[in-house]
Structure 1
Amino acid sequence: MTTCSGGPAADSAAFGEALFGTTTAEYARYRPGVPDAAVRLLAATLHGVPAPVLLDLGTGTAQVPRALLSVVPRLAHVDLVDVNQAMLAQAVAELKEAAPGACSVSAYVGEAHTFTSQPPGRGPDLITCCRAFHWMDRAAVLEMADRVAAPHATVAVMGDGSLWTHDAEWTGALRELIQTYLGPDRRAGTRGSYATPGRTYEDDLAASPFSELREHRFPVARAWTPKTVVGNLRSTSFARPKLFADRHEAFEAEARQLLDVHAKNGVLREEAVFTVLMARRPGSSS
C-alpha cells in the first residue's frame, strides 16, 4: 500500500526544485549508494523488532530504504520524506519494485521537521538521514524525531561529502571549472550560495534528546568515469543544468575534456569516508 501526504506541498516542491530541479533519472543512476557495512550497521539496530518502521528523511530516490529492504525484508512500513515531489515519486516506484507488497510506504512532501506520523502512535524504530542533514532545520528535525520515534529508536545521520568537497587533483580542477562558470561560491541551486552549518552534527545531536552518540567510519573507494561524473553533477545542487542556462552544453563539453585528461585508463579514483552518527536517547540502548 502506498499513501501520499504532506504539509505546504507547493512551497516544499518549490524548495526542492530550487535545490535539485527534477533530474530524478540522473539522481537515481549516478548518486553513490550506501556502503554495505553501513547498511548492516543500520540493520543491526532493528534486531529483535518484529515489524520495524523506518523513517527516511531527505530520501531522494530512496537509496537507504532500498538498501535496508535487502537485509531486513521484514520491514513493515517505510515513511519517505523529501521536499522534491518528483524524487518522491521515483522513490515510491523504486521501493514498490524492490519489495512489491512486502511493506507499506507513505510519501510525505515537505520539510523534514514538519513530518507527523501516519498513523499516529506507530513511531519509527529507525530514523535515517543520508547526505541531506545540512539542508534541514536540524534542531527542529531532532525535536520532531523525539515526538514521533519509538522509545528505543535510533537516529542515524550519515554521509560522505560530495565531488565538490572531495580533495583530489581531478576534483579540484573540476571545482575550478565550475567556478569559472558560476562564480567562486558553492551554489545551492537557485537559492544562492551554500552556507556551511554553524556547528557540527555531533553538537546538534548532543544538544538533542538523542544525545547518546557513537560514530562509525567506513572507508570507500570509488571508480568514476568522465560520463558518470558528468551525470552525477547534473543531480547536484551546485552544478545542476539550470544554473548554467544556455552555457550548460559548453560546460559539459569542457568538463568531459578536463576529466578525460585526468582519468587514468578511463578511470577517476575517489577515496572517501562514509560516516554514520548513531544516536539514541540516554538509557534506551539495549
Structure 2
Amino acid sequence: MSIFHGTIGFYRKFRPDIPTAVADVLDAAVPAGSPRRLLDIGTGTGLVVEALRDRFDDVIGIDPDAEMLAAAENALRPRLPADAQLRLQEATAEEYTPPTGWQADLVTICRTFHWLDQARVLNQLDAQVSRDGAVAIFADKSFWVANNEWELAVRAVIQEFLGEQRRAGGGTFHGQRRPDLQALRDSPFNRVEETVVPVHRTWTANSILGYLHSTTFAEPELFGDRLHEFDEAVRAVLARYSDTDTFVEENEFLIHLGRRPSASR
C-alpha cells in the first residue's frame, strides 16, 4: 500500500500549488519548439503538470500510486489545451520506460526526489532526455523543517502524538542520501544551475490541518481514534499565534537544473 494512502483528498485540495515564477524558470530551461515534451516524475495529483500545461504539448506523468493518478486525471484532463497530449502511467521512476523513440525536453522531479533511488534514476534518464534537455529537481520546505514559530509549535504537537521521529506512513522518514546538487553533479546532467524562488503564503487553521493530513508525517490514519483530538490540539496551539486565524509563511522553492556538459544553451 502506498505511504500516501488516505491523503489524496487532502493532497489535491491543500498542497500548495507550483507558483508561476517557478513555472517560468522551468519553461526557460529548455528550448522552445513543437512537440515540446515533459516527463513529470512522481506526478502525484498533477500539480506540476497543471502549472506547465500551457507550456508543453506532450506530457507524460508517472507515479506508483493509482489513487494519485486518478485524482490527477480528473483535475487535469478538463483543463488541457485542445491540442495537448497527456499520458498518466502507474510506474516507479526506477522501472519506467518511455514509449519507443520518445525523449523528454524537460524532466521535473518536485517534492519527491528524496523517495527515489537517486543515482539509478538520473543515470536512466540519460537515455530518456533529449540532447538539449534538462532535469529539474525542486521543492519548497515542508512544515517539518520550517522555522516560523507557529510551524515549530505545530510540529511539537505532531511529535507529542506520534513521537520525536518524523513518520513516513507506517515507518519513519530517512532523509535523502545526498543533496540534490551533488546528486546531479555525480550524474550525466552535471552542469547544474541553482535558482531560489521566494514564496509568501497565508494559511488558516483549516488549511494547515488539510496540508498536514496530506503529508506522510501527519496523515489521518497515523492518529487512529485520536485524530479529532490531534486536530483540536493543533487548533489550540495555533490560536496562541493569531487572533484572526491568519498565519503567514515565508518559504522558497530551491530549483536545481541539470544539463549534460555538451548541451547547447
TM-score (norm. length: structure 1):
0.89
Q: State how far apart, in whole Å, the 2-side matches of 1:83 and 1:284 are.
A: 31
Q: Determine whether 1:211 maps to 2:195.
A: no
- CA contact 1:56–1:80 (8 Å) conserved in 2: yes
- CA contact 2:190–2:258 (8 Å) conserved in 1: yes
Residue segments in structure 1 that go unaligned for 5+ positions in a row: 1-13
Q: Which amino acid aligns with 2:64?
A: V
1:79 paired residue number: 60
Match of 1:139 among 98, 116, 119: 119
Match of 2:80 among 99, 103, 124: 99
Q: Which amino acid aligns with 2:58?
A: H
Shift of 1:101: 3.9
Match of 1:166 among 146, 152, 176: 146
Q: Which amino acid aligns with 2:11?
A: Y
After the TM superposition, which of the residue ranges 93-102 and 234-243 deviates more from structure 2?
93-102
Q: State how far apart, in whole Å, the 2-side matches of 1:218 and 1:263 are.
A: 27
1:7 paired residue number: none
Q: State how far apart, in whole Å, the 2-side matches of 1:223 and 1:129 are.
A: 25
| CA 270–264 in structure 1, closer or farther in 2 if over 3 Å, else same | farther
Q: State how far apart, in whole Å, the 2-side matches of 1:111 and 1:212 are.
A: 25
The C-alpha deviation readout for 1:173-204, integer Å capped at 9, x for no partner, is 111111111111000111x1111222211110
Q: State how far apart, in whole Å, the 1-side matches of 2:209 and 2:50 are.
A: 24
Residue segments in structure 2 that go unaligned for 5+ positions in a row: none
Q: State how far apart, in whole Å, the 2-side matches of 1:222 and 1:183 are.
A: 28
Q: Which amino acid aligns with 2:21?
A: A
Shift of 1:85: 0.9
1:126 paired residue number: 106
- CA contact 1:92–1:105 (8 Å) conserved in 2: no
**Corresponding residue pairs, total:** 265
The C-alpha deviation readout for 1:62-82, integer Å capped at 9, x for no partner, is 111111124x1xx33211111
After the TM superposition, which of the residue ranges 93-102 and 164-173 deviates more from structure 2?
93-102
- CA contact 1:210–1:282 (8 Å) conserved in 2: yes
SS in structure 2 at match of 1:125:
strand
SS in structure 2 at match of 1:26:
helix
Match of 1:241 among 220, 224, 233: 220
SS in structure 1 at match of 2:132:
coil
- CA contact 1:55–1:128 (8 Å) conserved in 2: yes
Indicate the percent of aligned positions where both proteins have the same amino acid: 35
2:7 paired residue number: 23
Q: State how far apart, in whole Å, the 2-side matches of 1:261 and 1:275 are.
A: 31
SS in structure 1 at match of 2:145:
coil
Q: State how far apart, in whole Å, the 2-side matches of 1:102 and 1:263 are.
A: 47
Shift of 1:247: 0.9
Q: State how far apart, in whole Å, the 2-side matches of 1:92 and 1:152 are.
A: 29
RMSD: 1.3
1:4 paired residue number: none
Match of 2:252 among 243, 257, 273: 273
1:37 paired residue number: 21
- CA contact 1:114–1:144 (8 Å) conserved in 2: no
Q: Determine whether 1:109 maps to 2:84.
A: no
The C-alpha deviation readout for 1:154-190, integer Å capped at 9, x for no partner, is 1000001201111111111111111111111000111
1:10 paired residue number: none
| CA 264–214 in structure 1, closer or farther in 2 if over 3 Å, else same | farther
Q: State how far apart, in whole Å, the 2-side matches of 1:252 and 1:93 are.
A: 29
Shift of 1:147: 1.8
Shift of 1:245: 0.9
SS in structure 1 at match of 2:11:
helix
- CA contact 1:226–1:263 (8 Å) conserved in 2: no
